[in-house]
Structure 1
Amino acid sequence: MSSEPLIPATVIGSWSFPGWYEAFIADVADRPDRYGPADREEALRDAVRVVVADQLGAGLDRITDGEMQRVDFNLGFYDFIEGIEPIPRNRLWGAPAHDQRSKYRCVSPLAAPRGLGTVAEFRRFRLLTDAPTKMPVPGPFTLAGCIAGGEVYPDRMGVTEALVPIVNAELKALAAEGVDFLQLDEPSFACHPDAPEEFLDLVARTVEGVDAYISMHMCFGNYRARAVGWRSYRPLFPHIGRAKVSQLAMEFASRELAEVELLAELPESMDVAVGLVDVKNTWVEPAELVADRLRAVLTHVDASRVSVTPDCGFSQTARHVATAKARNLVEGVRLVRRSIGGGD
């Protein structure tokens, strides 16, 4: 965007929960009567203040509230959706995998009369900082992945269709609040690429009438640092270049820049946010490696269209690791900016 430096360094959305805040959330769940609304709001606002300081201290050009109000990147949204009931999980113990995530079943037509809660998140963020931000919102297909249709909807696409107007209304509400950068989180599309025209139509209707710069984040899943699908973007090309969004956010670091050459197939009107640090790895990439990865990206796409991010959100990454990775991401970007005359 015009107010940003060349090759902005930013985040995908989530940040590591501070340890004290994670303990607080667990205690609230176990003993809710111990905390009043003011106590919960104070803790939440303090947590946002901490992660804002982490991100600004790392030198990031565009930050978020760290998704401190959310459970995972999308699970907290189901608390706002009416017409569903929880399904008991079959497996609670053992190595983490996606079958341990919360699941729901439709019992009546879906609705979200209170919205999805992101407007309140943005307002809280703005009480603390006027830094450039983006607001991530899970897309309808991804949200539908945890909802069985029951006797209300025939299949996942039926659930998705019911969620399209809910997500569209949320995006419009955020734009009306002054959010100029929205991110549609749709990792499920990267894992289910078999209906491209249906997918493109779904994206177009989800963002219709939304007055903002819109990025679409497509990773391969990061629940407990586990991917959920075949990690290839090839099946999404060339049709993904016709998506009605301004930017695609894609992961490359964990795949050692595999398929980075696909960026050359995108139209010049499409920006890209490239993931150049691996959120699943506790090893902190040196700034020089981030710079080398970025230079490889720039052989396929012009610098004016590129932003640099982690592969995914940092919610599954230890805080000290996330902070170190963000700092080196910023420094790697600055090394390249200086080398091509883009300043610091």
Structure 2
Amino acid sequence: MAEPLIPATVIGSWSFPGWYEKFVGDVKDRPELYGPVDREEAVRDAIRLAIDDQVRSGLDRITDGEMQRVDFNLGFYEYLGGLEPLRKARHWGAPAHDQRDRYRCIAPLTAPEGLGTTTEYHRLREYTTGPVKIPIPGPFTLAGCIDGGDVYPNRAATAEALIPIVAAELKALDAAGVDFIQLDEPSFACHPDAPDYFLDVIARTVAGVKAYVSMHMCFGNYRARAVGHRTYRPLFPHIGRARVSQLALEFASREMAEIELLAELPETMDVAVGLVDVKNTWIEPPGLVAERLRAVLKHVAPERVSITPDCGFSQTARHLAVAKARSLAEGAAIVRRELGRS
């Protein structure tokens, strides 16, 4: 099934159904309550619901909603050998990034069974034949939750150890038939001070990958909180040299600030622009999405544009995610009609 001009899609995650979030918490706290068949059934039901939500919303390319990436099943750090969990610095009070899970290296990092994304893809394909994409965190972002301990002296060294692990996972997705991979590297948007290092990390991570690769760079979304200075200016123009086919960038939460930067990208680089804000609880009407899209098209040809939420919907209430996704799809349809490409 071919995508239309200016396809509407998601970044990766979808909002967990309430029952599934409860289930995930129960499995983490009391794993004896559920056997392997119970767990598999719940994961598959959640995948089917995520697909149904996205398709009914009118999205053109979907994911499994990252429903499989829960602690008991496919959490990326659980696939990495050489780690021990650290106690959280803070459990109570206003949510912030210091409440995220963190790990310490006690041995060199390994991933003898990969990172699980090919399993995710095969499960997803059991329920849809339409266009899909598989998101995967990049090595620098994965390194952000890891203390190198006595094994790696700093974050760059930890990321270096993760490059071959992520690169092998991308090649495995290639071999499985995935035609669209999204490399999630928001940490580079939040730490833009070493562009040559950044471009080298990306180039080595994606080397030899045949699939279309999009690179997502937002400003963080843990508990709907940003974590970096919300400007892309330091990334330009060198980000246009990244060895990827598409950049996925956050604009809605910043009221479309810096949209003119897109004109600095080479014509060979596609863009996925965030036109609805996942951090607020207001539903952007389709007309506003269309207005924002028209602003994008002043700088980039429509053939190079996809539209997305700013980030994943994992931190957004499900009914809001559905409504915002519907506005995305309807806003794209308005502009396609104006362009005579409905």
TM-score by length of structure 1 reads 0.97
Counterpart for residue 33 of structure 1: 32
Q: Which moved more, 1:28-37 or 1:251-260?
A: 28-37
* 1:320 aligned partner, one-letter code: H
1:259 paired to 2:258: yes
In 2, the alpha carbon distance for the partners of 1:186 and 1:76 equals 17
Q: Contact (CA 8 Å) 2:6, 2:306: kept in 1 or not?
A: yes
In 2, the alpha carbon distance for the partners of 1:153 and 1:319 equals 40
Counterpart for residue 106 of structure 2: 107
1:193 shift after superposition: 0.4
In 2, the alpha carbon distance for the partners of 1:124 and 1:276 equals 29
In 2, the alpha carbon distance for the partners of 1:27 and 1:254 equals 33
Counterpart for residue 50 of structure 1: 49
* 2:223 aligned partner, one-letter code: R
- Deviations along 1:2-30, one digit per CA (max 9) or x if unpaired, are 93210010000000000111111111122
In 2, the alpha carbon distance for the partners of 1:301 and 1:205 equals 28
In 2, the alpha carbon distance for the partners of 1:16 and 1:289 equals 23
Counterpart for residue 204 of structure 2: 205
In 2, the alpha carbon distance for the partners of 1:47 and 1:281 equals 24
In 2, the alpha carbon distance for the partners of 1:20 and 1:87 equals 28
Counterpart for residue 335 of structure 1: 334
In 1, the alpha carbon distance for the partners of 2:75 and 2:97 equals 16
SS in 2 for 1:184: strand
Paired-residue identity, %: 73
1:174 paired to 2:173: yes
* 2:275 aligned partner, one-letter code: L
* 1:68 aligned partner, one-letter code: M
Q: Contact (CA 8 Å) 2:287, 2:331: kept in 1 or not?
A: yes
- Deviations along 1:131-151, one digit per CA (max 9) or x if unpaired, are 110000000000000001111
Counterpart for residue 135 of structure 2: 136
In 1, the alpha carbon distance for the partners of 2:11 and 2:215 equals 10
Question: Aligned-pair RMSD on alpha carbons?
Answer: 1.1
In 2, the alpha carbon distance for the partners of 1:255 and 1:267 equals 23
Task: Identify unmatched segments of 5+ residues in structure 2.
Answer: none
In 2, the alpha carbon distance for the partners of 1:137 and 1:26 equals 23
SS in 1 for 2:77: helix
Counterpart for residue 151 of structure 2: 152
Counterpart for residue 163 of structure 2: 164
1:33 shift after superposition: 1.3
Counterpart for residue 122 of structure 1: 121
1:1-344 equivalences in 2 (<5 Å): 3-71=2-70, 76-343=75-342
SS in 1 for 2:199: helix
1:290 shift after superposition: 0.2
Q: Contact (CA 8 Å) 2:10, 2:63: kept in 1 or not?
A: yes
* 2:75 aligned partner, one-letter code: G
In 2, the alpha carbon distance for the partners of 1:30 and 1:153 equals 31
* 1:196 aligned partner, one-letter code: P
SS in 2 for 1:294: helix
SS in 2 for 1:323: helix
Q: Which moved more, 1:328-337 or 1:27-36?
A: 27-36
TM-score by length of structure 2 reads 0.98
SS in 2 for 1:51: helix
In 2, the alpha carbon distance for the partners of 1:254 and 1:90 equals 28
In 1, the alpha carbon distance for the partners of 2:129 and 2:80 equals 30
In 1, the alpha carbon distance for the partners of 2:47 and 2:149 equals 37
In 2, the alpha carbon distance for the partners of 1:245 and 1:90 equals 36
Runs of 4+ in structure 1 deviating by more than 2 angstroms, as ranges, are none
1:71 shift after superposition: 4.0
SS in 2 for 1:136: strand
Q: Which moved more, 1:21-30 or 1:90-99?
A: 21-30
Q: Contact (CA 8 Å) 2:143, 2:159: kept in 1 or not?
A: yes
In 2, the alpha carbon distance for the partners of 1:91 and 1:224 equals 14
In 1, the alpha carbon distance for the partners of 2:23 and 2:142 equals 26
In 2, the alpha carbon distance for the partners of 1:190 and 1:184 equals 13
Number of residues paired by the alignment?
340
* 1:123 aligned partner, one-letter code: H
* 1:5 aligned partner, one-letter code: P
In 2, the alpha carbon distance for the partners of 1:187 and 1:15 equals 18
In 2, the alpha carbon distance for the partners of 1:146 and 1:253 equals 27
1:76 shift after superposition: 1.9
SS in 2 for 1:338: helix
In 2, the alpha carbon distance for the partners of 1:107 and 1:30 equals 25
- Deviations along 1:264-298, one digit per CA (max 9) or x if unpaired, are 00000000000000000110000000000000000
Q: Contact (CA 8 Å) 2:24, 2:70: kept in 1 or not?
A: no
* 1:298 aligned partner, one-letter code: L
In 1, the alpha carbon distance for the partners of 2:110 and 2:316 equals 33
- Deviations along 1:155-196, one digit per CA (max 9) or x if unpaired, are 000000000000001111011111000000000000000000
